Amino acid sequence: MCGIVGYVGPRDATPIILNGLKRLEYRGYDSAGVAVVQNGGIELRRDAGKLSNLADLVSQQPISGAPGIGHTRWATHGAPSARNAHPHLGTTGRVVVVHNGIVENYLELKDELAAEGIPFNSDTDTETIVHLVERHQASGLDFTSAAHATFEQVQGASVILLISADEPDKIICARLGNAGGVVIGLGNGENFLASDIPAILEHTRRVIFLESRQMAIVTRDGIQIQTLEGSPVKPEIHSIAFDPVAAEKGEFRHFMQKEIHEQVRALTDTLAGRVDFSAGKIRLPELNLTPEIACRLQKIYITACGTAAYAGMVGKYLIEKIARLPVEVVIGSEFRYSDPIVDENTVVLAISQSGETADTLAAMEEGRKKGALVWSIVNAIGSQAMRIADGAISMQTGPEIGVASTKAFTAPLVDLYMLAILLADLRGTLDEQARRALVADLRLIPHLVGRTLAREPQVVKVARALKDIRDCLYLGRGINMPIAYEGALKLKEISYVHAEGYPAGEMKHGPIALIDEHMPVICIAIQDPWHEKMISQIQQARARNGRVITLATDGDELVEGMSEHVLWVPEAPWLLSPVVTVIPLQLLAYHIATLRGLDVDQPRNLAKSVTVE
């Protein structure tokens, strides 16, 4: 949610910032801006809409200089417009700010500043920050002390970057709470700041992650970090391994398409080094799970948002079935308000692609506060959810850029399956033969996903038939019920088609009234323990003239005879079947959206990392 980039060094900051913002555009794309110190003053360009508008503006009205800061916005306070786009200048025109997060006490601060006659030029909460800095400077503080005093006043989770034309050798940065991360990239005689690693990877792989309630003074030759309380911090320098090419679209039209097709590789990497097929064992060393811990556990809460929460629902099924340990799934935004029953024998397991989702992080904090063991399954390297957990499973998917999550859905499904086997093994709830059989099934997964992806043409055909629909129902049962939710979410977010996922057996209790000859009903009716039940549900939809589209296992003529269209999938072990059944639904949403001419990677109103409550 909002992307921030900063550069301090001898080069012109403008192209570095624009390139960096391009890699962060998934975080927000309703307006963008850049500011640099040029000829002793601050020059700034801002525009509404996507980053390409800002790039056009900068090429018509070039600016050049350093240091510089830039921003791509996902609006919270104030409509998406050039006026509300960051950076925001103060009244002196000599201090400028970019910000990710929310200044929760901005109304109070704004009233106070306005009463002193300070004019506001935007409707944002962010602008208060720069006016506060200037007010402290006016009272005699230098730039760093003024920034520090401001950080103490601002409430809520925020990442803030500031530059001043009067001290053009530095960028001051603060991280207040969990409003998305900030990473400092170490160069030679130059340094970088960004919300996320891909923005600076072309320049450096040596990074420092700023922690909550820390501020950094970043100059071209040094980085000084301290807590807001004033204690100096010796930062840990991390070396980032991933390849910048992994964050490029390559031959694909969209990141989402590329990421869907990367799932064979992502799942192969997910298994690598974690599955010992000859011993029939799972190894997840980063989880720090001992037999003692596994045996004393009484409950797991899985907490996550959106797609990650649907992965968690499949996880509940897997852990309860395989490890016989009770699991409750609570979405991140509800967890801390539900007064969860948590003690030291409980695990709070967060699932998150970004590792920055504010609601998920808040749930982790709640778990920690109540004494639970906190685990996470996270994709983004170095993210907060990975760092604050007692144990973590890192998704091996590489960066996911498309706003619609795809490979970061299937990877945790396999992680959760492995976790279930490991827990069962350590708790002694699985005999050796059963364990070996479950482990052996994992070997099939990359191949099954590859075979399903190869059937993209059948999905395109169905997408053409459905491209003008207004509504759509997705039905599933048992372990594939969350796949109905996920299929519907994918369609909603990128095609803007109203879609609902429903437990198929629940239809008769109300939603069946929606079905008529215009309603497509996508039924996940593969060969699994619910196959017969799903056939009854298909019949009920047909009896109301619904347009039945089924996801069926190869060769299922019975289901084929009942369907307007069939999306065929290869036979898969049923506990792993969600990894396969979700693939045609990801592709269907993708192709319907492209046929409707929509911007698949940057759907309206959304952002990839939701770092505000």
Tell me the three state secondary structure of residue 548. strand
- Residue 263 or 357 with smaller CB distance to ligand AGP: 357
Q: What is the distance between the alpha carbons of residues 398 and 169, in angstroms, rounded to a whole number?
A: 35
Asked if 74 and 607 touch (Cβ cutoff 8 Å), the reply is yes
Among 193, 305, 419, 463, binds ligand AGP (CB under 6 A): 305
Among 69, 420, 576, 610, binds ligand AGP (CB under 6 A): 610
CB under 6 A: which stretch of 21-29, 271-279, 295-303, 353-361 binds ligand AGP? 353-361
> Which residues lie closer than 8 Å to 315 by C-beta, 6 or more apart?
302, 327, 329, 349, 351, 412, 413, 416, 419, 420
- Residue 190 or 486 with smaller CB distance to ligand AGP: 486
Q: What is the distance between the alpha carbons of residues 188 and 351, in angstroms, rounded to a whole number?
A: 36
- Residue 4 or 96 with smaller CB distance to ligand AGP: 4
The reply on whether position 352 binds ligand AGP by CB under 6 A is: yes
Q: How far is the CB of 234 from ligand AGP (least distance, A)?
A: 30
Among 28, 306, 546, 573, binds ligand AGP (CB under 6 A): 306
Tell me, by CB under 6 A, how many residues bind ligand AGP.
15
**Burial class of residue 542 in the structure, from the number of CB atoms within 10 Å of its CB (0-12 exposed, 13-18 middle, 19+ buried):** middle
Q: How far is the CB of 378 from ligand AGP (least distance, A)?
A: 8
Amino acid sitting at position 90: G
Q: What is the distance between the alpha carbons of residues 436 and 447, in angstroms, rounded to a whole number?
A: 19
Tell how strand 373-378 and strand 391-394 pair up: parallel
Q: What is the distance between the alpha carbons of residues 125 and 110, in angstroms, rounded to a whole number?
A: 8
Catalytic residue among 258, 316, 490, 608: 608
- Name which of residues 92 to 131 contact ligand AGP (CB under 6 A): none
CB under 6 A: which stretch of 82-90, 164-172, 252-260, 354-362 binds ligand AGP? 354-362
CB under 6 A: which stretch of 107-115, 202-210, 289-297, 300-308 binds ligand AGP? 300-308
- Residue 120 or 496 with smaller CB distance to ligand AGP: 496
Tell how strand 565-569 and strand 547-553 pair up: parallel
Angle, CA of 314, 319 and 323, to the nearest 5°: 160
CB under 6 A: which stretch of 232-240, 272-280, 352-360, 495-503 binds ligand AGP? 352-360
Q: If you count DSSP H runs as helices and E runs as strands, how many of each does the chain have, helices first?
A: 20, 27
- Residue 164 or 352 with smaller CB distance to ligand AGP: 352
- Residue 307 or 602 with smaller CB distance to ligand AGP: 307
- Residue 165 or 582 with smaller CB distance to ligand AGP: 582
Among 360, 480, 537, 602, binds ligand AGP (CB under 6 A): 360
- Residue 486 or 556 with smaller CB distance to ligand AGP: 486
Q: How far is the CB of 212 from ligand AGP (least distance, A)?
A: 17
**Which ranges of 276-395 does DSSP label H, i.e. alpha helix?**
291-296, 306-323, 332-335, 358-369, 384-387
Residue 173 annotated in active site: no
Among 137, 303, 354, 581, binds ligand AGP (CB under 6 A): 354
Tell how strand 327-331 and strand 170-176 pair up: unpaired
Closest CA to 164 of 180, 139, 194, 144: 144
Q: How far is the CB of 377 from ligand AGP (least distance, A)?
A: 10
**Burial class of residue 477 in the structure, from the number of CB atoms within 10 Å of its CB (0-12 exposed, 13-18 middle, 19+ buried):** buried
- Name which of residues 392 to 421 contact ligand AGP (CB under 6 A): 403-405
* Backbone φ, ψ for residue 195 (5° rounding): -70, -25
Q: How far is the CB of 276 from ligand AGP (least distance, A)?
A: 29
The reply on whether position 363 binds ligand AGP by CB under 6 A is: no
Q: How far is the CB of 310 from ligand AGP (least distance, A)?
A: 8
* Both tokens assigned to 53: 């508008």
The reply on whether position 424 binds ligand AGP by CB under 6 A is: no
* Both tokens assigned to 392: 């973590």
Q: How far is the CB of 563 from ligand AGP (least distance, A)?
A: 27
Q: What is the dihedral of CA 415, 420, 424, 425, to 10 degrees?
A: -10
Among 195, 307, 384, 594, binds ligand AGP (CB under 6 A): 307
Among 96, 308, 497, 519, binds ligand AGP (CB under 6 A): 308
**Burial class of residue 99 in the structure, from the number of CB atoms within 10 Å of its CB (0-12 exposed, 13-18 middle, 19+ buried):** buried
The reply on whether position 353 binds ligand AGP by CB under 6 A is: yes
CB under 6 A: which stretch of 24-32, 178-186, 274-282, 347-355 binds ligand AGP? 347-355
Catalytic residue among 2, 173, 305, 523: 2
Residue 2 annotated in active site: yes
The DSSP H or E segment spanning 451 is helix 445-453
SS (H, E, C) 5-20: EEEECCCCHHHHHHHH
- Residue 146 or 414 with smaller CB distance to ligand AGP: 414
- Residue 300 or 494 with smaller CB distance to ligand AGP: 494
* Both tokens assigned to 475: 């039905």
* Both tokens assigned to 157: 């989770």
The reply on whether position 586 binds ligand AGP by CB under 6 A is: no
Amino acid sitting at position 610: V
Q: What is the distance between the alpha carbons of residues 490 and 390, in angstroms, rounded to a whole number?
A: 32
The reply on whether position 357 binds ligand AGP by CB under 6 A is: yes
Query: How far from each other are the two terminal CA atoms of the chain, in whole angstroms?
Result: 11
Q: What is the distance between the alpha carbons of residues 7 and 163, in angstroms, rounded to a whole number?
A: 10
Beta bridge partners of 393: 377
Among 25, 167, 415, 493, binds ligand AGP (CB under 6 A): 493
Closest CA to 602 of 198, 195, 254: 254
* Cis previous bond, 87, omega within 30: yes
The reply on whether position 602 binds ligand AGP by CB under 6 A is: no
- Residue 214 or 354 with smaller CB distance to ligand AGP: 354
* Both tokens assigned to 232: 């100096």
What are the residue numbers of the active site?
2, 608
Chain contacts with ligand AGP (rule: CB under 6 A):
305-308, 352-354, 357, 360, 403-405, 493, 609-610
